[in-house]
Amino acid sequence: MASCDDKPNVIIAGAGICLHRILPRPRNHSAVSEERQGTIVNVFTEPEWRKRGIAALLLKEIIKWSDTKHLDRLVLHASEEGRSLYEKLGFVSNNEMRFVGKT
């Protein structure tokens, strides 16, 4: 989370990560994954604080932290507003599909 220096109890931005075990899968030609994935969740910046790099700083911290924890991958669901930020940080779109059950 991020807050102002003069108002430390007022949250202006935030981001989180959920850790998950995943099924083993090839990571590259010579290794199998350690079966750990992080899902980045709840990335937000209050409207008056947007376009100042706060979300980018929070995401860079999550990326740095996940590297120390040896996660196999990070995933997130991007809004249209956030997509360019995630791409600048190295995230790539994929072809995910979702099943929500019978209606």
Residues 6+ apart with CB under 8 A from 18: 38, 39, 41
For the whole model, what pTM was predicted? Answer: 0.83
Please say if the pLDDT value at position 33 is more than 70: no
pLDDT value, residue 12? 96
Query: Which sequence spans correspond to the domains of the chain?
Result: 2-88
pLDDT score of 73 more than 90: no
More confident residue, 95 or 76: 76
Q: At 91, list the tokens.
A: 């995230």
Dist CA 40 CA 65 (whole Å)? 12
DSSP three-state, residue 28: strand
- C-alpha to C-alpha distances, 5 to 2, 10, 49, 53, 60, nearest whole angstrom: 9, 10, 13, 16, 20
Name the superfamily (CATH) of residues 2-88: Gcn5-related N-acetyltransferase (GNAT) (3.40.630.30)
Calpha distance 18→75 (Å, rounded): 10
